[in-house]
Structure 1
Amino acid sequence: MKLKRSILSIVMLIAIFTVLMACNESENKAIKPRVLISSDIGGTDPDDFQSMIHLLMYADQFEIEGLVSSPYGEGSTTDFLDMIALYNQDYAQLLPHAPELPSPESLRKITKQGGKDAAPFKGYSTPTEGSEWIIKCAKAESDQRLWVLVWGGIEDLAQALHDAPEIKENIRVYWIGGPNKKWSINAYSYIAANHPDLWMIEANATYRGWFMEEDSPEDLKGDVFYNNYIQARGSMGKDFFNYYDGDIKMGDTPSLVYLMNGDPNDPTGESWGGSFEKVNRSTRNVFKGGSTVSDTVAAYGTIEWQFDGPELEVSEDSVVFEIEIQNQTWPGYYIGKGIYGVKYSSKKPETGPYRTSSSISELNGLEGGYTSTFPWPGKASSYDCLLGPNWYSDRKDLGLFIQDQQGAKTVSKYRKEFLLDWAERWK
């Protein structure tokens, strides 16, 4: 009888242990962050190709649910698929070291085409395959929120929020802003004005700490890392050299490593992807009739010019003039009742002139300027968009700047850690 009881006790202990192990295994799988990448890969800047290679080499650490092509220029899903083809060539070699890597075919199935054009003045237009995929993923049954990591234009997210605002409860956003904000200013302005309760990290400058080398050991500097650690390993390693001759930029990667290190639920804490502070407003300056270089605005803020002209028999949001700023041209819109508008955001502190051109005489040849300064979000304006409790952006502490890049040291201080971790993956 004692022997039977002992055997029964052992069996029960084994059963309990098995259940506990199964629970632990389930918990470990559950903590993989759900991510959807929206990228301008193939557009104006080749650094997204570098970031994509980095993502694929760490893909076992995430549940990747979407790859949305949201480019400026000629980019498309083909650029994602080309990178997945390289991954496919390395897959068999990588799999023994990381058995949970997703299959190339599973990644192809979640690659979707987003918008190819900047949003009009109102900030949204029509649904895209990409915006609808964001909605679908955000509404999927899950105990976790979906991390939407935006590496380029924010148009597809703006469209998704317009079409299904309820998804805000299910997503968290980390956006690489700065230059992308300049291109996506209409979509961004729409989100800030109409969805201030979004959970958002708006990284306008912090991400630059990834490739600004003030705190870098010599052997990890961008121009030697390739030769020291990548050395053309595999198809992805060979391809990496095609972008900036292998010099490390990967300006979008901080959004990914933010989820790999630290507590992503606390943007004010420490992380490879930066540390941020809450902001309660998004700066917006409206100049009716124009501005001059003596008008000061915050870098990364929304500058909106409104001009008077004739009332036209055209639909609102029609492009009827252009404005040239910093040797680039931006569309200006008819916003109704004889009022014309255009928005802009500077990607850094700068002084810039502008000049308009149009077939409408009242809008042709208007000249002016602006001066943008740090830190963001700068002085308050009556036109500012008031934000909710979960909007975060670059830290204002001057000790965390690198040159004029706000908050960049919160990333660069971890350069040795995150690059050596990646070097191990290359081995």
Structure 2
Amino acid sequence: MGKSIKKTVGSINQVLVILFLLMLNIVPIQNNYAQQKAKPRILISTDIGGTDDDDFQSMIHLLMYSNQFEIEGLVSSPFGNGRKKNILDMIDLYEKDLPELKKHEKGFPDPNSLRKITKQGVIESAPYIGYAKPTEGSDWIIKCAKKKSDQPLWVLVWGGIEDLAQALHDAPEIQKNIRVYFIGGPNKKWCINAYAYVAENFPNLWMIEANATYRGWFMDKEAPENITAKTYYPNYIDGRGAMGKDFIKYYRGEIKMGDTPSLAYLMNGNPNDPTGESWGGQFTPIQRSSRNIFTSNTTIIDTVAAYAVLEWRFKGPELKIAKDSACFELETGNQLWPGYYLGNGNYAVRYSSKKPETGSYVIKSSISELNGQSGQYTSIVPWPGKPNSDDYILGANWYGDLIDPKMFIDEQQGAKTISKFREAFLLDWAKRWAWLKK
């Protein structure tokens, strides 16, 4: 009993000493989760240089904060013309600004070390099966994921998910070592076959699927005047370093950076708890991913969840071609999506709407039985919508946009969970831009 009392008194004295030191500002108070822990291990899969210039902006942001992370891979996974060189070009700009950055904080990575971990990933979208063949990028994901570490590898997907799908196919054991933050929405549309493969075959993957939340990063509806998409560049970036000079090339300097929330998620907040608040959004566990399989053409009364996997299947002639061969196209939204032969006279094509919409489609093919077939559909929020028997059933660690209407901005589900912190993270970034002003 006496020992217990002495132990309690000792503990109280320790607390009093700590409080006294805090009053003297000798012991710093750390509120930022990232400051309390080891640097997060990250690998970026980006479609920089492809169909959307926002990845250039996000890459500049990443490099300016690169001292806060262990960057283990920069993988080019493009739609369109983007290539590994686009990443290397950004590293060249970073190298020019590095001396100024290093005057203010330590730990910025050497440019050559970043060049060594920059890899070329897949160039073409995955076929119906969801994967194709290994790439330098997918092999690098596997290598990084297999490193011995007491913390996970965060795979931040800024574009297509093909290289991740390929890595999981080739080395399924890495699933337990990685955590994924996927900027979905339009990206999900472009990589729909790879996404379907991952959702069906790796339901226990630790995954944040942000189909709309990320839009809170650049939507101006609730932004103070000094940090709108148009005003941020002249107020904080113009005239600041080589990266600032380059920034004006993308959207005339207007802020988009739709992929940056994946990084911001690790910068402020507890990344182990997606249900908590963070600069990169707040999410909810989901037990299923919406999918609708149609065996006939749909009409406007066929209502699906926005961001769902839509799959149309058709009957036609038996062809002497390999299964998974692209042999027809679905045209919708002035874009073409490849359809595939499944064998035995069966054909299929997948699509995903990137927003709530009423869409129309038409089939184009040299196969007369398919050519000219057409239909419509209506997609609505919230996602994942009403359950149906076609849904992919997910495990305990898959997270999606909040369904609470109070967290919407217009039709963008969950966007307020990011926009509420917009001023804080953009003004934090402004401090780093000020470092580059001469």
Normalised by the length of structure 2, the TM-score is: 0.91
Cα deviation 1:362-386 (Å, max 9, x = unaligned): 0100011111010000011111110
Q: Which position in structure 1 is the counterpart of 2:433?
A: 426
Q: Which position in structure 2 is the counterpart of 1:6?
A: none
Instruction: Please give the alpha-carbon distance, in whole angstroms, between the structure 1 residues aligned to 2:355 and 2:40.
Output: 32
Report the alpha carbon displacement of residue 168 of structure 1 after superposing the two structures with TM: 0.7
Q: Which position in structure 2 is the counterpart of 1:190?
A: 197
Q: In structure 2, the residue corresponding to 1:223 is in which secondary structure?
A: coil
In the alignment, is the contact (CA less than 8 A) between 1:325 and 1:355 conserved in 2? yes
Do structure 1's residue 54 and structure 2's residue 61 form an aligned pair? yes
Q: Which position in structure 2 is the counterpart of 1:395?
A: 402
Instruction: Please give the alpha-carbon distance, in whole angstroms, between the structure 1 residues aligned to 2:158 and 2:280.
Output: 13
Q: Which residues of 2 match residues 363-378 of structure 1 at below 5 A?
A: 363-378=370-385
Report the alpha carbon displacement of residue 159 of structure 1 after superposing the two structures with TM: 0.4
Cα deviation 1:187-226 (Å, max 9, x = unaligned): 0000000000000000000000000012211111110111
Instruction: Please give the alpha-carbon distance, in whole angstroms, between the structure 1 residues aligned to 2:264 and 2:371.
Output: 47
Unaligned runs of 5+ in 2: 1-33
In the alignment, is the contact (CA less than 8 A) between 1:215 and 1:415 conserved in 2? no
Instruction: Please give the alpha-carbon distance, in whole angstroms, between the structure 2 residues aligned to 1:232 and 1:258.
Output: 28
Instruction: Please give the alpha-carbon distance, in whole angstroms, between the structure 2 residues aligned to 1:236 and 1:302.
Output: 38
Q: Which residues of 2 match residues 76-155 of structure 1 at below 5 A?
A: 76-155=83-162
Q: In structure 2, the residue corresponding to 1:38 is in which secondary structure?
A: strand
Amino acid at match of 1:376: W
In the alignment, is the contact (CA less than 8 A) between 1:326 and 1:352 conserved in 2? yes
Do structure 1's residue 162 and structure 2's residue 166 form an aligned pair? no
Instruction: Please give the alpha-carbon distance, in whole angstroms, between the structure 1 residues aligned to 2:316 and 2:35.
Output: 62
Do structure 1's residue 217 and structure 2's residue 224 form an aligned pair? yes
Q: Which residues of 2 match residues 278-427 of structure 1 at below 5 A?
A: 278-427=285-434
Q: Which residues of 2 match residues 267-278 of structure 1 at below 5 A?
A: 267-278=274-285
Q: In structure 1, the residue corresponding to 2:166 is in which secondary structure?
A: helix
Q: Which position in structure 1 is the counterpart of 2:245?
A: 238
Instruction: Please give the alpha-carbon distance, in whole angstroms, between the structure 2 residues aligned to 1:29 and 1:377.
Output: 35
Q: Which position in structure 2 is the counterpart of 1:15?
A: none
Cα deviation 1:98-125 (Å, max 9, x = unaligned): 2200010000000000001110001001
Q: CA 1:279–1:269 in 2, change beyond 3 Å: closer, same or farther?
A: same
RMSD value, Cα: 1.2
In the alignment, is the contact (CA less than 8 A) between 1:289 and 1:308 conserved in 2? no
The percent identity for this pair of structures is 66
Q: In structure 2, the residue corresponding to 1:342 is in which secondary structure?
A: strand
Q: In structure 1, the residue corresponding to 2:195 is in which secondary structure?
A: helix
Q: In structure 2, the residue corresponding to 1:362 is in which secondary structure?
A: coil
Q: In structure 1, the residue corresponding to 2:366 is in which secondary structure?
A: coil
Report the alpha carbon displacement of residue 179 of structure 1 after superposing the two structures with TM: 0.1
Q: Which position in structure 2 is the counterpart of 1:262?
A: 269
Which of 16, 37, 43 is the aligned partner of 2:44?
37
Instruction: Please give the alpha-carbon distance, in whole angstroms, between the structure 2 residues aligned to 1:30 and 1:143.
Output: 12
Q: Which position in structure 1 is the counterpart of 2:10?
A: none
Instruction: Please give the alpha-carbon distance, in whole angstroms, between the structure 1 residues aligned to 2:195 and 2:210.
Output: 13
Instruction: Please give the alpha-carbon distance, in whole angstroms, between the structure 2 residues aligned to 1:105 and 1:95.
Output: 16
Report the alpha carbon displacement of residue 29 of structure 1 after superposing the two structures with TM: 9.2
Instruction: Please give the alpha-carbon distance, in whole angstroms, between the structure 1 residues aligned to 2:102 and 2:221.
Output: 36
Unaligned runs of 5+ in 1: 1-26
Instruction: Please give the alpha-carbon distance, in whole angstroms, between the structure 2 residues aligned to 1:343 and 1:222.
Output: 34
Report the alpha carbon displacement of residue 291 of structure 1 after superposing the two structures with TM: 1.1
Q: How many residue pairs were aligned? A: 402
Report the alpha carbon displacement of residue 275 of structure 1 after superposing the two structures with TM: 0.1
Q: In structure 1, the residue corresponding to 2:231 is in which secondary structure?
A: helix
